Chains A and B, each alone.
Chain A
Amino acid sequence: MNNRYLKNVVTLEYNSDKCTGCGICVDVCPHAVFRMENKKAVITDRDLCMECGACERNCPFSALSVRSGVGCAWAIILSELKGKDQPCCDCGE
C-alpha cells in the first residue's frame, strides 16, 4: 500500500550551505523526506512533503523553507469564501 500525492508541486526549499547537520529535520518530518549523509541533511523524495512546516520551524539555522498550510479542500474553499489569506482548520468550530 502506498499513499502518494501529486508530483512536482510542493514548495519545500533546502539550502545545504546553511545546514549544520543537527538532524532535527529528520526527527520532525512525518514522511521521511530527509536523511543524514556526511553530516548534512539531504532530501530523499521531495514529492513526499506535505508542507506541514515542522522542518522550517525547527531548523535553528533557517536552512529550510516551505509555504506551510493545511492540505484540506474545505479549508481552502472556506478561506476563499470568507476572504482569508491563509486556509486553516476550522472544522466544527
Chain B
Amino acid sequence: MLEKTWWMTSHIETDGGGKIPRISTLLTQKDKLGHLKVRSGIRRTKYSVPPGLYGVGNPDSNSPVLVSANYKLSFDKLRMELEGMDAWILVLDTKGINVWCAAGKGTFGTDELVKRITDVKLDRIVSHKKLILPQLGAPGVAAHVVTKKTGFKVFYGPVLAKDIRQYIQAGNKATPQMRAVRFPLRERLVLTPVEIVGVYKPVLIITLFLLILDLFGLDIFPVKDLLPYLGAILVGTFLVPTLLPWIPVRAFALKGFLLGIIYAFVLNISLGYILSPDPNWKQALVFFLTLPALSSFLAMGFTGSSTYTSLSGVVREMKFAVPSIIIAATLGFGFMILMLFVRF
C-alpha cells in the first residue's frame, strides 16, 4: 500500500484490484508552493508521485482510465481538471519527468504502460478496454503494440489536461484545437526562470572571484563591470523567449545575436563609447564581440524549451552558430584581457 500523502483522501474498494487510493481534485497551498518551486528550477527532478493506480470521485468498472506521468506537476494539472468526475488515473513511472520529455526518452513508453496495466490488474478493475493517453505521450507509445499485448485500445486525448473533460464528454473526440501544440507568451514566460537559474552558477563563481580580487586591492576588473554581461544573459534567457515569434529570423542563435547586437549598440551609445565626442573604440569593440555572442549562445539553448524545434534543425543552426560564437567570444574576451594587462 502506498504511503498516505496530503492529496490522498481515502480509499476505493474494488472487486478485482483491492484498495485503490482516492485522490483530491483540489490543489492546496502546499501543491501550489511546490509548483512555484519547480518552476523556479528548485529540485525539479525530485518532484514526483508514486506510480500506480489512483481514483477520483467514485469510479467503477465503467469509468474512464486516464494515463499520466509521475512528475507531480503533470499529475496535479490532470487531477485538478477532474473535479466532479469519476475516473481512474494510471500513473507511469517516468522518473519524475513530464509526459512529453519522458515520451522522448521512452520512459513514458509502450513497455512501461504494458507493465503498469498488468501490475495494477487493470482488466479486473474496469470492464471496458479503453485507455486515454495524453497526446504528447505518443512519441513513446506505440498504440497498436499496447493493444496487441494487453487488449486495451489507446485513445490519444488532448495535449492539455484542461481539455480532458470536453474530450471525454465528446466521446473521446479531440478538436484540432486540442491537438495542436502552441507556444504562447504565457508558456514561454513560465519557462524563463529555469533558463535564468540555469546560468547562475558560473555567474556566481565569476562574481565571487572578482570580489576576492577587489578585496585584495587588485583593481583589475571591478565587479560593476560585470553588469553589461548580466544584461546580455537576460537578453538571451528572458528577452529572446519573450519576443520569440516577433524576432524576424528563425534560427534561435540568430534571434539571440540580433537582440544582442541591438543591446550592444544601445549600451555603447549610452555609455558614450560610440557616436560621442570622446569615443572608446576598444571598449565598444569588446562589447560588440562578446555581448551578442553570449546572448546568442543562451538563446540557442532555448531550443530545448521550445515546442517546435527539430533535432535536424538545431544541428543545422549549430553548425554555423557554435564556431561563430566561439570565434567572437575568443576575440572579444582576448581583446579585453589584452586591454586589462597591457593597457595599450
**Contact assessment for B313 and A28 in the assembled complex, using a CB-CB cutoff below 8 Å:** no
A21 within 8 A of B: no
- Complex CA distance for A57 and B303, rounded to whole angstroms: 23
Given contacts A73-B318, A92-B45, A93-B45, contact A54 B308 (CB under 8 A): no
Chain B residues whose CB sits within 8 angstroms of the CB of A88 once the complex forms: 104-105
Chain A residues whose CB sits within 8 angstroms of the CB of B139 once the complex forms: 28, 52-54, 57, 68
**Contact assessment for A6 and B105 in the assembled complex, using a CB-CB cutoff below 8 Å:** no
**Contact assessment for B104 and A70 in the assembled complex, using a CB-CB cutoff below 8 Å:** yes
- Least Cβ–Cβ distance between A9 and chain B, in angstroms: 5
- Complex CA distance for A77 and B308, rounded to whole angstroms: 19
**Contact assessment for B311 and A51 in the assembled complex, using a CB-CB cutoff below 8 Å:** yes
- Least Cβ–Cβ distance between A57 and chain B, in angstroms: 5
B184 within 8 A of A: yes
- Complex CA distance for A51 and B139, rounded to whole angstroms: 9
The number of chain A residues with a CB under 8 A from chain B is 45
Chain B residues whose CB sits within 8 angstroms of the CB of A73 once the complex forms: 252-253, 300-301, 303-304, 314, 318
- Complex CA distance for A88 and B41, rounded to whole angstroms: 19
**Contact assessment for A31 and B303 in the assembled complex, using a CB-CB cutoff below 8 Å:** no
**Contact assessment for B316 and A30 in the assembled complex, using a CB-CB cutoff below 8 Å:** no
The size class of the interface chain B forms with chain A is: 35 or more
* Contacting residues of chain A (46-78) with chain B, CB-CB under 8 angstroms: 48-54, 57-58, 60, 67-77
**Contact assessment for B104 and A4 in the assembled complex, using a CB-CB cutoff below 8 Å:** no
Chain A residues whose CB sits within 8 angstroms of the CB of B90 once the complex forms: none
The one of B105, B184, B250 in contact with A5, judged by C-beta atoms closer than 8 angstroms, is: B250
B307 within 8 A of A: yes
**Contact assessment for B140 and A30 in the assembled complex, using a CB-CB cutoff below 8 Å:** no
**Contact assessment for B313 and A10 in the assembled complex, using a CB-CB cutoff below 8 Å:** yes
Closest A residue by C-beta to B180: A32
A1 within 8 A of B: yes
The one of B143, B304, B308 in contact with A75, judged by C-beta atoms closer than 8 angstroms, is: B304
**Contact assessment for A32 and B176 in the assembled complex, using a CB-CB cutoff below 8 Å:** yes
Given contacts A27-B156, A58-B142, contact A89 B105 (CB under 8 A): yes
Given contacts A31-B181, A57-B138, A89-B105, contact A6 B317 (CB under 8 A): yes
**Contact assessment for A71 and B138 in the assembled complex, using a CB-CB cutoff below 8 Å:** no
Q: Which of B138, B141, B180, B316 has the most CB of A within 10 A?
A: B138
Given contacts A28-B135, A89-B304, contact A69 B140 (CB under 8 A): no
- Complex CA distance for A50 and B136, rounded to whole angstroms: 13
B279 within 8 A of A: no
**Contact assessment for A1 and B184 in the assembled complex, using a CB-CB cutoff below 8 Å:** yes
B159 within 8 A of A: yes
The one of A9, A32, A54 in contact with B310, judged by C-beta atoms closer than 8 angstroms, is: A9
Query: Can you report 25 A-B residue pairs in the complex whose CB atoms are below 8 A from each other?
Result: A5-B309, A7-B250, A10-B313, A27-B135, A30-B180, A32-B179, A50-B308, A54-B103, A54-B138, A57-B140, A58-B143, A58-B144, A69-B311, A70-B311, A71-B309, A73-B304, A76-B314, A76-B315, A88-B104, A88-B105, A89-B101, A91-B101, A91-B304, A92-B41, A92-B44
